[in-house]
């Protein structure tokens, strides 16, 4: 095991709560903070074997920490938690490492990196992929933006909950790489939804269809993990449609700044708006299939 560090984790949602558990289990001295104190209390109750300190502000959480991690909601949340008057950067020490696992805009990632540089703090924008299961199992992939020395300082803690850590470029590159990921898997889910409904309408045996096509060119993680659950109308897997729309909005905004056309992404974003209108905002992204009516279930 790597050397124990003083680690603070802010944001104990579906992803953050699981990541914090792995950090504590790896033997690091853990401080936690959540804007809702009730969630922090529930996290402690769910993890009785971990001795943790509970901070009342982000600045307090950052005091004395070697590494501070955040996993919150959006740009505004991150700005408040990190740059606000009682934010992380009001309490963090010179030489510490700051890691952000929130999916946010590249713009705020770069802004935070500039503020961190002025404070002599290592800074990594580090969105993740792998979903709730990856967080719970400690098998996330992290796409990191920042200086090489910052990635080196961050990696010993991130190794507690990841299977892959990739340094993709300078500050902000982690976030733009996450946008690439969202473009790709939104498209896969859209086509997978249509394929499933087509198979149902043709009265095909869905298990046999999966067996026939999953070893060929159409195979994907989404097919392997969501084909059967989509057929059963099971959509409780953690990464919600509401968050996907947030991510796609960030992606299209970045695309406009790069003068890149994203017509398919824009169309799928509207498909997800239809799922929200059906009441599926808190369901998993595979609920995209809900917007397509069944025509003849096998």
| Residue 222, φ and ψ in degrees, nearest 5 | -65, -40
Residue 296 lies in a domain: no
Residue 78 lies in a domain: yes
Output the pLDDT for position 52.
95
Which token pair is 221? 């993680």
Output the pLDDT for position 298.
40
Residues 18 and 57 in one domain: yes
Residues 119 and 198 in one domain: no
What span, in angstroms and rounded, lies between the C-alpha atoms of 67 and 155? 10
Catalytically active residues, by annotation: 178
Digit-by-digit pLDDT tens for the chain (298 residues) are 458 999 999 999 999 999 999 999 999 999 999 999 999 999 999 999 998 999 999 999 999 999 999 999 999 999 999 999 999 999 999 999 999 999 999 999 999 999 999 999 999 999 999 988 999 999 999 999 999 999 999 999 999 999 999 999 999 999 999 999 999 999 999 999 999 999 999 999 999 999 999 999 999 999 999 999 999 999 998 789 999 999 999 999 999 999 999 999 999 999 999 999 999 999 999 999 999 999 754 4
Q: Of 170, 191, 221, which one is at a domain's C-terminal end? A: 170
What CATH number does the domain containing 214 carry? Answer: 1.10.1040.10
Question: Which residues, other chains included, contact 138 with Cβ-Cβ below 8 Å and sequence gap of 6+?
Answer: 22, 160, 161, 162, 163
Residues 182 and 126 in one domain: no
Q: How long a stretch of residues is the chain?
A: 298
Contact by Cβ (8 Å): 172, 109? yes
Output the pLDDT for position 150.
98
Output the pLDDT for position 26.
96
Residues 233 and 164 in one domain: no
Residue 205 lies in a domain: yes
Residues 232 and 138 in one domain: no
- Structural domain range at position 184: 176-291
When divided into structural domains, the chain yields a total of: 2
Using only C-alpha atoms, the chain has a radius of gyration, in whole angstroms, of 20
Q: Of 113, 147, 170, which one is at a domain's C-terminal end? A: 170
Residues 255 and 277 in one domain: yes
Residues 275 and 146 in one domain: no
Output the pLDDT for position 62.
98
Residues 126 and 256 in one domain: no
Which token pair is 29? 């001295």
Residues 14 and 63 in one domain: yes
Residue 47 lies in a domain: yes
Residue 79 lies in a domain: yes
Output the pLDDT for position 238.
75
Residue 61 lies in a domain: yes
pTM: 0.93
Residue 297 lies in a domain: no
Residues 50 and 198 in one domain: no
Residues 13 and 107 in one domain: yes
What CATH number does the domain containing 38 carry? Answer: 3.40.50.720
Q: Rounded to 10 degrees, what is the CA torsion of 270, 275, 281, 282?
A: -130
Residues 241 and 122 in one domain: no
Output the pLDDT for position 223.
97
Residue 274 lies in a domain: yes
Output the pLDDT for position 2.
55
Output the pLDDT for position 244.
96
Contact by Cβ (8 Å): 15, 38? no
Q: Of 152, 170, 188, which one is at a domain's C-terminal end? A: 170
């Amino acid at each position: 095991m790597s050397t124990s560090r003083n680690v603070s984790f802010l944001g104990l949602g579906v992803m953050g709560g699981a990541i914090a558990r792995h950090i504590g289990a790896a033997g690091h001295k853990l401080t936690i903070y959540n804007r809702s104190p009730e969630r922090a209390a529930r996290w402690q109750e769910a993890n009785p074997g971990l001795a943790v300190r509970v901070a009342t502000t982000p600045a307090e959480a950052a005091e004395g920490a070697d590494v501070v991690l955040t996993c919150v909601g959006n740009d505004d949340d991150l700005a408040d938690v990190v740059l606000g008057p009682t934010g992380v950067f009001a309490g963090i020490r010179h030489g510490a490492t700051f890691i952000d696992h929130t999916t946010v805009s590249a713009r705020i990632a770069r802004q935070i990196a500039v503020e961190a540089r002025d404070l002599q703090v290592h800074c990594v924008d580090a969105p993740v992929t792998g979903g709730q299961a990856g967080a719970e199992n400690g098998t996330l992939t992290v796409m990191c933006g920042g200086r090489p020395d910052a990635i080196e300082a961050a990696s010993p803690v991130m190794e507690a909950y990841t299977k892959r850590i990739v340094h993709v470029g300078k500050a902000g590159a982690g976030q733009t790489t996450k946008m690439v990921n969202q473009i790709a898997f939104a498209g896969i889910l859209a086509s997978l939804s249509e394929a499933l409904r087509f198979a149902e309408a043709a009265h095909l045996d869905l298990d046999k269809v999966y067996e026939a096509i999953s070893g060929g060119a159409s195979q994907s993680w989404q097919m392997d993990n969501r084909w059967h659950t989509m057929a059963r109308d099971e959509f409780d897997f953690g990464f919600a449609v509401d968050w996907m729309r947030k991510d796609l909005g960030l992606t299209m905004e970045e695309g406009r700044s790069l003068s890149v056309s994203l017509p398919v992404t824009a169309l799928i974003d509207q498909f997800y708006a239809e799922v929200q209108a059906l009441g599926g905002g808190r369901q998993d992204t595979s609920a995209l299939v809900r917007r397509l009516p069944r025509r003849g279930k096998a």
